Amino acid sequence: MARLSEDDEAAFDAFVGERRTSLMRTAFLLTGDVHRAEDLVQAALMEVFRRWPRLRDRIDPVGYARKTVVTTHLNLVRRLSWREVPVADFPDVGVPGDEHDGTVARLALRTALLRLPPRMRAVLVLRYFDDLSEQDTAAALGCSQGTVKSTASRGLARLRDELDRHGQPVAAPDPANALRPSRSGRPS
């Protein structure tokens, strides 16, 4: 791998410092597993590093890194012959008003999100958790804005059904807050 100039190396280090947490959140929401998310982010950052001199001046490096995370995840899912199957019964939940209600709601939302097909999950993560526009989501996934709209609509309906089916309130907590990384830097 070619060596970057000191300026490029400093700019790349700053980029990683600013964006790693956001990329980790996206990867975690796509995979549901911290270790796989770390692997996805590492692969994306290696690709960004490899192309950094060109990306820095001509292309949005954040969009490129995000697209690399999503594409790598979708390719991996397609290649794998096995898939994790979520459990049918959700773990014990606390009583209403329990101090752990927020945690239970986040777990329910994550579990429901992981039951969705990977591409649908990617649309919801990019649109609602990463707060991308329809146009940016379409660019990250390599599809049309219409596909993003219809997939998001179907995905939200399925997410509501999953939450309702498993006894969780349909009015789930704000997704942007429900799956934010904890203070340790890992998604809570």
pLDDT digits (tens, 9 = 90+) for 70-113: 998 988 887 764 555 556 666 555 555 555 667 777 788 888 88
Question: What's residue 187's pLDDT?
Answer: 43
Number of domains in the chain: 2
* CATH number, domain with residue 59: 1.10.1740
**What is the band of 186 on the pLDDT scale with cuts at 50, 70, 90?**
very low
Highest mean pLDDT (candidates 90-94, 114-118, 181-185): 114-118
Residue 92 lies in a domain: no
Contact partners, residue 22, CB within 8 Å, separation at least 6: 62, 130
Residue 1 lies in a domain: no
* CATH number, domain with residue 114: 1.10.10.10
Quote the domain boundaries for residue 116. 101-178
Question: What's residue 179's pLDDT?
Answer: 46
Q: List b or e across 97-133, with b for residues whose CB sees 16 or more CB atoms inside 10 angstroms.
A: eeeeeeebbbbbbbbbbbbbebbbbbbbbbbbbbebe
What percent helix, strand, coil does the chain show, rounded to 5? 70, 0, 30
Q: Are residues 106 and 167 in the same domain?
A: yes
Q: Are residues 120 and 173 in the same domain?
A: yes
Name residue, tokens 């008003």. 97
